[in-house]
Amino acid sequence: MKILSQNTAFGGMQGVYSHQSDACNCEMTFAVFVPPKAIHEPCPVLWYLSGLTCTHANVMEKGEYRRMASELGLIVVCPDTSPRGNDVPDELTNWQMGKGAGFYLDATEKPWAENYRMYTYSTEELPAFVSQHFRVDMDRQGIFGHSMGGHGAMTIALKNPDRFRSCSAFAPIVEPSTADWSVPAFEKYLGPDRAAWRRYDACALVEDGARFPEFLIDQGKADGFLENGLRPWLFEEAVKETGIGLTLRMHERYDHSYYFISTFMDDHLRWHAERLR
């Protein structure tokens, strides 16, 4: 593991690290915040998955999670959103595909399948690596994210209900297989057979029988992507009569940015901490 930076914050440590990833076939960077409590005992771990165009750094710099994570004793891990490097295929002029747009899936189509394996990376390789290098209590894991990362968090929780005790999302893409900004990417990563897309679609997973106890979703009503990209009401519809709990909060005037995310960050951290006790 390479240490790229470590800074003391709120009595804990915000670090940025990199390692060679077998899943993505490239070097991957990630951020870990370790609260002071982890000096004495293993702490619960919360995975934050970011949205389109992001790296590990956006939430680290603008998410404002450290004070509350420190207080609650939560380790927060923030992976990158895609493979990186000069050898990794990309669409340079398209921010919804390629680098910064991994969609937390394992691509099956050329030329993407060589590197774009963010599902395996975020659910297997990175957790194994983090558990080796940090004092994490892997029996207490939660997952959350924003937009494309909200989609990642919800689909990963639905597919791994025994591993995660809590899940929440800021402005998630709840049905990427029908949303404007993800259909072209799914076609390229997964091919034309839409049956294969359902494993990476929260609404479809629920329709197909996947279950998770409950979700918290916050959504801004002034979010420009609400109508065509995000559409949380589709998930509200999908969970009806399934036993899945949903707290969906729609907020007047808030947009899609980190001003919105940081406003509700404390609520999400508390939501997770209560379920990771």
By the criterion CB under 6 A, which residues form the site for ligand GSH?
Answer: 51-54, 58, 62, 95, 146-148, 256-258
Q: What is the CA radius of gyration of the chain?
A: 17
Residue with the shortest CB distance to ligand GSH: 51
Q: Which of 56, 146, 151, 256 is catalytic?
A: 256
CB of 62 to ligand GSH, least distance (A): 6
Q: Which of 147, 168, 177, 182 is catalytic?
A: 147
* Nearest to ligand GSH of 126, 148 (CB atom): 148
Q: Is 256 an annotated catalytic residue?
A: yes
* Nearest to ligand GSH of 35, 145 (CB atom): 145
The Cα–Cα gap between 24 and 83 comes to 6
Looking at the chain, which runs of residues are DSSP E strands?
A: 2-9, 12-21, 26-34, 43-49, 75-79, 136-146, 164-170, 214-220, 245-251
- Bridge partners (DSSP) of residue 220 are 251
CB of 137 to ligand GSH, least distance (A): 29
The Cα–Cα gap between 98 and 189 comes to 9
Q: Is 5 an annotated catalytic residue?
A: no
CB of 58 to ligand GSH, least distance (A): 4
- Bridge partners (DSSP) of residue 98 are 101
* Nearest to ligand GSH of 210, 230 (CB atom): 230
Q: Is 267 an annotated catalytic residue?
A: no
CB of 225 to ligand GSH, least distance (A): 7
Query: Which are the catalytic amino acids?
Result: 147, 223, 256
